[in-house]
Amino acid sequence: MRIVISETTSGKSYQTEIDKDKEPNIVGKKIGDELDGNLVGAAGYTLQLTGGSDGSGFPMRSDVYGAVKKSILTTDGIGFHAKNSGERKRVFVRGNTYSSEIVQVNAKVLKVGASPLQELFGKKDEKEKTDAS
């Protein structure tokens, strides 16, 4: 499972993988729940779950309940953006509960920890990689 952490103050986002043994801590939670940063390697941080998507790319919606994939009729929002006024479309989306089928979890920072996310998850400079070789 991959987690994308968005930092609202700087507008940057960072990606990291969650170990298989830590995935059960996320399964069963809903969009809007809080998550401890220690789970993903961000000690001292508090994260809020904001969404995600499954292996086929279907997005999660907070107004669809449960850990299911449903076909809903929507006018606009997550999963469909209308080009014309009054346009509606039936689309597949995931529910608001995280399950084992979810491969990407989106979260935002609520409480900042001691060290910045750039140090924890930022990419290493190419110069550092060549110096180590």
Residue range 15-25, pLDDT digits in tens: 999 988 999 99
Domain segments of the chain: what residues? 2-123
Mean pLDDT calculated for residue range 96-117? 93
pTM of the prediction?
0.85
* Cα–Cα distances in angstroms (integers) from residue 60 to residues 72, 91, 92, in the given order: 12, 12, 10
Mean pLDDT calculated for residue range 10-37: 93
Pairing of strands 34-36, 46-54: antiparallel
Summarize pLDDT for 57-105 with one digit per residue, the tens: 999 999 999 999 999 999 999 999 999 999 999 999 999 999 999 999 9
Cβ-contact 49, 30 below 8 angstroms: yes
The residue among 95, 91, 71, 92 whose CA lies nearest residue 82 is 91
CA distance 35 to 55: 22
Note whether 21 and 1 are within 8 A (CB): no
Between residues 131 and 65, which one has the greater pLDDT?
A: 65
Side-chain-facing half-sphere of 25: CA atoms under 13 Å? 14
| Cβ burial, residue 3 (10 Å; 0-12/13-18/19+) | buried
Distance CA 108, CA 22 (A): 19
The residues facing 41 across adjacent strands are none
